[in-house]
């Protein structure tokens, strides 16, 4: 396969820069797996497509305010430090801008906090060490900005602190939201529960690599960046019980899919545990844990779109995308959703 097989044209005006209000008022394109007509609904209609005993698996990662704006202590020049993940102690891997000038030894001040660049890694990432004793996540909560995706061409504001966080968010560590989960509201979850559908949570801390373009034309030559994940014993038990009973495991988002498939211990079974995954799911691929998928509409030529095509079939999913464009669906993180059932 070629990356160009996953291209499509999207008018710029279809990129959502705010979520639907309420969240479950987003549109939902239902794509029956294998054949049949597509159905146009709202996300709040999702319970009608779920059966008693089905299991929804969500990602409970929490987005951190990863963008820290500061100044060089020596020159006063403006600097952005974009936190990626904790390395050890008070050291974090980060993207910095302007990158070429921020070499080891440069100190950056953010109001009442500061860090120093201590190493440069391949690809331009830096290791920065924070001063003082205040937890780095606490500094980010006080001084950081929400790391909106680059295709949302506005500055993050106070609304995004809530909008770019799912109702399931519990474990801080992501620098991008698991966007399919953004559609859920307490009222929708109550209606889902009333149908006898259970919910289990896994964790995958979404990294900045989710927005990085695939730079090769041969799909199999692409390499994913590592992301930390965890499947608790309770979540593994819920997935295994659902599959053993012949019930569906409905992954909410591609990050939930990658977590479950990374933890797969055989057909229909997952193992509890924590680790990191670089799993790149593209056709041909035999899904061992997930049997249905709720997902947003993704960037052209992206690994996320390739995963959805592997699940629903390339031709069928790309046709659904073309129909969504024609029907005026809103795309990307704050946009509408599709369900491959």
Task: Decide if pLDDT at 164 tops 80.
Answer: yes
How far is residue 204's CA from residue 225's CA, in Å, rounded to a whole number? 13
Per-residue pLDDT tens over the stretch 102-159:
899 999 999 999 999 999 987 789 999 999 999 999 999 999 999 999 999 999 999 9
What is the per-residue pLDDT for 320?
97
Q: What is the rounded (10 degree) CA torsion for 212, 217, 223, 229?
A: 60
How far is residue 86's CA from residue 166's CA, in Å, rounded to a whole number? 22
- H/E segment holding residue 260: helix 254-262
What is the per-residue pLDDT for 93?
95
Task: Decide if pLDDT at 53 tops 80.
Answer: yes
CB atoms within 10 A of CB 25: 14
Per-residue pLDDT tens over the stretch 195-225:
999 999 999 999 988 878 788 899 999 999 8
Is the Cβ–Cβ distance between 91 and 104 less than 8 Å? no
Largest CA distance in the chain: 64
Which domains are delineated in the chain? 3-63+161-340 (3.40.1780.10), 67-143 (2.40.10.240)
How far is residue 307's CA from residue 293's CA, in Å, rounded to a whole number? 11
- The encoded tokens of residue 340 equal 């491959």
Query: What mean pLDDT, rounded, does the chain reach?
Result: 95
Long-range contacts of 114-123 (CB under 8 A, 24+ apart): 114/70, 114/73, 115/81, 118/91, 121/93
Among the listed residues 65, 27, 19, 66, the one whose alpha carbon sits nearest the alpha carbon of residue 46: 27
Is the Cβ–Cβ distance between 221 and 25 less than 8 Å? no
Report helix angle 303-312 to 254-262, nearest 10: 70
Instruction: Kindly list the distances between the CA atom of residue 205 and the CA atoms of 181, 284, 305, in Å, as whole numbers in the listed order.
Output: 14, 26, 19
Task: Decide if pLDDT at 239 tops 90.
Answer: yes
What is the per-residue pLDDT for 276?
95
CB burial readout 33-64, b (16+ within 10 A) else e: eeeeeeeeeebbbbbebbeeebbbbbbbbbbb
């Amino acid at each position: 396969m070629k990356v160009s097989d996953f291209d499509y044209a999207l008018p710029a005006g279809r990129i959502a820069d705010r979520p639907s209000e309420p969240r479950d008022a987003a549109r939902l394109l239902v794509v029956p797996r294998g054949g049949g007509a597509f159905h146009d609904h709202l996300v709040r209609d999702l319970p009608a497509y779920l059966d008693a005993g089905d299991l929804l698996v969500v990602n409970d990662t929490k987005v951190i305010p990863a963008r820290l704006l500061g100044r060089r202590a020596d020159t006063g020049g403006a600097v952005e430090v974009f936190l990626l993940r904790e390395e050890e102690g008070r050291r974090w891997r980060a993207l910095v801008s302007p990158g070429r000038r921020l070499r080891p030894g440069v100190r950056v001040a953010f109001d009442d906090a500061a860090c120093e660049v201590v190493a440069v890694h391949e690809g331009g990432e830096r290791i920065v060490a924070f001063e003082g004793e205040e937890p780095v996540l606490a500094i980010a909560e006080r001084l950081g900005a929400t790391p909106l995706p680059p295709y949302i061409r506005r500055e993050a504001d106070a609304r995004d602190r809530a909008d770019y966080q799912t109702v399931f968010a519990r474990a801080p560590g992501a620098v991008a939201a698991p966007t399919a989960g953004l559609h859920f509201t307490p009222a929708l979850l109550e209606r889902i529960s009333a149908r006898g559908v259970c919910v289990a949570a896994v964790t995958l801390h979404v990294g900045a690599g989710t927005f990085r373009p695939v730079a090769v034309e041969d799909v199999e030559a692409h390499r994913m960046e590592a992301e930390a994940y965890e499947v608790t014993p309770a979540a593994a038990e819920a997935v295994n019980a659902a599959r053993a009973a012949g019930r569906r495991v409905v992954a909410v988002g591609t990050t939930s899919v990658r977590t479950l498939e990374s933890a797969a211990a055989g057909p229909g079974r997952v193992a509890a545990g924590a680790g990191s995954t670089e799993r790149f799911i593209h056709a041909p691929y035999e899904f061992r844990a997930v049997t249905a998928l709720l997902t947003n509409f993704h960037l052209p030529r992206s690994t996320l779109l390739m995963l959805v095509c592997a699940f629903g079939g390339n031709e069928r999913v790309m046709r659904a995308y073309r129909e969504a464009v024609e029907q005026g669906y809103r795309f990307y993180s704050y946009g509408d959703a599709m369900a491959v059932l």
